[in-house]
Amino acid sequence: MKPADLARIHQAAFTETRAWSVDEFENLMVQAGILLTSSGPAFVLGRIVVDEAEILTLACDPAGQRHGHATNAMSRFEEEAALRGVERIFLEVAEDNEPAQNLYASAGYTETGRRPGYYRTVSGQRVAALILSKALHTE
């Protein structure tokens, strides 16, 4: 996927918070340690530093939701991260984003912390971020 594709999907998926721009995706894609995986209209973008990875964003075009695309993109991210020596993956999710929380829970992520007022909605409301993590079994 190209930065314009990522921005389009991100904008369609994130209607309550600020979506990322093409420029933001372009700037991320050239940084060291960036990992992008996709499945159909879903993608996971993260950063690997030594033996840890952080999922920066996951998005799926609403027209393609509930078909396993996000789950597949997550699985591919985890597999590739493990091949690169990652032992643990971290991410943040808005506490009011129940569908994403369900996706992460079904993939084995557990809550390890909370950041009060981390996200700001388009209406200006502050929402806490839940910090989730998952250990990868690299053998």
Beta-ladder partners of 44: 37, 58
Residue 76 has a pLDDT of 98
CATH topology of domain 3-135: Aminopeptidase (3.40.630)
Question: Region 80-90: what's the mean pLDDT?
Answer: 97
Q: pLDDT by residue (tens digit) across 68-83? A: 999 999 999 999 999 9
Between CA 87 and CA 50 the distance in angstroms is 9
Pairwise pLDDT comparison (109 vs 19), residue with the higher score: 109
pLDDT one-digit tens code per residue, 10-55: 999 988 888 899 999 999 999 999 999 999 999 999 999 999 999 9
Mean pLDDT computed over 98-118: 95
The whole-angstrom separation of Cα 57 and Cα 73 is: 12
Instruction: State whether residue 63 is helix, strand or coil.
Output: helix
Percent of the chain residues topping a pLDDT of 90: 83
**Model-wide pTM > 0.85:** yes
**Residue ranges of the alpha helices (H) in the chain?**
3-13, 22-29, 69-83, 98-106
Residues sharing a CB contact under 8 Å with residue 43, sequence separation 6 or more, in sequence order? 1, 6, 9, 36, 37, 58, 59, 60, 73
pLDDT at 123: 86
Neighbours of 24 (CB within 10 A): 15
pLDDT score for 65 = 86
In this model, does residue 67 exceed pLDDT 60? Answer: yes
Q: What is the pLDDT of residue 138?
A: 56
d(Cα 57, Cα 110) in Å, to the nearest integer? 17
Q: What is the pLDDT of residue 139?
A: 55
